[in-house]
Amino acid sequence: MGTRRQARELAMQALFSMDMSCAFSAEMLTDYCRCFPPGKRFQSFFELLVNGVLQYKADIDAVIETYSSNWKMRRMACVDRNILRMAVFELIYCADIPAKVTINEAIDIGKKFGSPESGSFINGILDSIRIAIEKGQLATVETPPAGDGTASQAINDL
C-alpha cells in the first residue's frame, strides 16, 4: 500500500475518532496522535488532511449536504461522513491532487472501512461535487490551510 493511501486512512481514523467524541479540535488531534502516532513517513500529508478538515469543516459539511441528495450529515455513517470530508477538502483545497485520484482513494477507503454500500454512496456524492467544480459552479481554492505547506510538498515529503 502506498504512503499516501496510508496517510489518508490514518487521517480518516483520526477524524472518525474526533467525530465519535463530538470534539473536532487541534487538542483532540494532539491527544489522538499521542496515542496513535501516524509515523514520520505519513506525518506531513496526514496533518495536511486532518488540519484542513478541522479548519474548513463547516464549509466542507455545507458542500457535502448541498451535493448529497436528501442526506443530512448526521444521518450519514460516521466512516462515510469523514471520508467525504477528507475527499472534499482535497477536491477544493488541493488543486495539485487530481480529482480522479481523490475520488478513487475515497471509494477504496470506503470499501475497506465502511459498509458494502459505502463505495457507491461516496462515489455518487464526490462525482456530483467534481462535476460542479468542472462546470465552475463550485470554486476551488489554490491556497492550502495556513502553515501546512502545499499538498505537493506534503506528497513530496512521503
- Please choose, from the candidates 48, 63, 62, the residue with its C-alpha nearest in 3D space to the C-alpha of residue 15: 48
SS3 sequence, 41-91? CCHHHHHHHHHHHHHHHHHHHHHHHHHCCCCCHHHCCHHHHHHHHHHHHHH
Domain extent at residue 127: 3-156
pTM: 0.87
CA distance 149 to 99: 19
| pLDDT tens sequence for the chain (158 residues) | 678 999 999 999 999 999 999 889 888 999 998 999 888 888 899 999 999 999 999 999 999 999 998 888 999 999 999 999 999 999 999 989 999 999 999 999 999 999 999 999 999 999 999 999 999 999 888 755 554 444 444 444 44
Q: Into how many domains does the chain fold?
A: 1
Task: Give the CATH number, domain containing residue 46.
Answer: 1.10.940.10
Single-letter residue type at 87: A
